[in-house]
Amino acid sequence: MALVSLRWLLSLIFLVAVTGSQLKRDWPLLRAKLGFLLLMGALGFTGFNALFYSAAHLTTAVNIGILQGSIPVIVLIGVFLIYRTPVTAYQIIGVMVTLVGVVTVVFKGDFARAAALTINRGELLMLLACALYAMYTIGLSNCPKVGALALLTVMAASAFVVSLPLAVAEYVYGAFQAPTTTGWILVGLIALLPSFLAQIFYIKGVELIGPGRAGVFVNLVPVFAAILSVAYLGEVFEAYHAVALALVLGGIWLSERK
């Protein structure tokens, strides 16, 4: 939880440093939807990160990456139910193929486990995190039409404030770990790359092609996660991971080809 707070504090510092005039210009539009934007930051950033990091104590990075393939499934269902966005047959098939890939990871390729419902608690936490991020993705299409930097600044401020009680609770329960030198380097990289640059690209992507299509590209996360987990963490890449990745990538191709 300390990492959640620190990443959004540093990201907020980056954003305020480069957004000044844009934030002032866009403030009237931002203020009109301030409550909605604060909720977006709380759920899509702090909620997602807190559950994500908790899950990492209980399951592998490969599994966490592949389970994020559930986000497009939830996004497509959500945009259809909320906005009545048309969903093509290819998208439906692509979602179902992707969902099979996610289930393959959850049950580790052993579908007999499905009958007994023996699911790792970390994987359940990760699926809940994915649900929050899917809600955030859907919500982006309802944000005020302002610059991505100004939008992200407001949501990052909310994420930081909402993360503070979690960090305090972590300290009170004796689970706080002060960052080492390596830890501070990681905090800086997380704040700059996934919290700052990736979020700006994601916001612009949703703006350009809509949440339904943008959500499908989250399925590329499992590919990068699998490669990096094996290369840098030494995790074992099992046969069921290969099957799941093939299904996830097949789902992307089916959803996007039309």
- The per-residue pLDDT for 59 is 87
For residue 76, how far is the Cα from the chain centroid? 15
Q: Can you spell out the DSSP letters for 65-87?
A: HHHTTHHHHHHHHHHHHHH----
Full domain range(s) for residue 229: 2-256
DSSP reduced 3-state for 107: coil
- The per-residue pLDDT for 132 is 95
For residue 167, how far is the Cα from the chain centroid? 20
For the whole model, what pTM was predicted?
0.82
Alpha carbon distance 232, 134 (integer Å): 28
- The per-residue pLDDT for 135 is 93
How many domains is the chain built from? 1
- The per-residue pLDDT for 52 is 93
Q: Name the residue among 46, 44, 31 with its Cα closest to residue 162.
A: 46
Q: What is the dihedral of CA 89, 78, 83, 245, to 10 degrees?
A: -40
Residue-by-residue pLDDT tens, the chain, 258 positions: 999 999 999 999 989 988 888 888 999 999 999 999 999 999 999 999 999 999 999 988 888 887 887 887 788 888 888 888 787 888 888 878 877 887 777 677 776 665 555 667 898 999 999 999 999 989 988 889 888 889 999 999 999 999 999 999 999 999 999 999 999 999 999 999 988 888 888 888 888 888 777 766 777 777 788 888 888 888 888 888 888 888 877 887 787 776
- What tokens were used for 234? 């030494």
DSSP reduced 3-state for 85: coil
Q: Name the residue among 234, 246, 252 with its Cα closest to residue 109.
A: 246
In one letter, which amino acid is 250? G
Q: Other C-beta atoms within 10 Å of 13: how many?
A: 13
DSSP reduced 3-state for 84: coil
- The per-residue pLDDT for 9 is 95
CA atoms within 13 A on the CB side of 241: 19
- The per-residue pLDDT for 170 is 95
- The per-residue pLDDT for 256 is 72
- The per-residue pLDDT for 245 is 82
For residue 36, how far is the Cα from the chain centroid? 18
- The per-residue pLDDT for 172 is 95
- The per-residue pLDDT for 118 is 60
- The per-residue pLDDT for 26 is 93
- The per-residue pLDDT for 165 is 96
- What tokens were used for 203? 């916001």
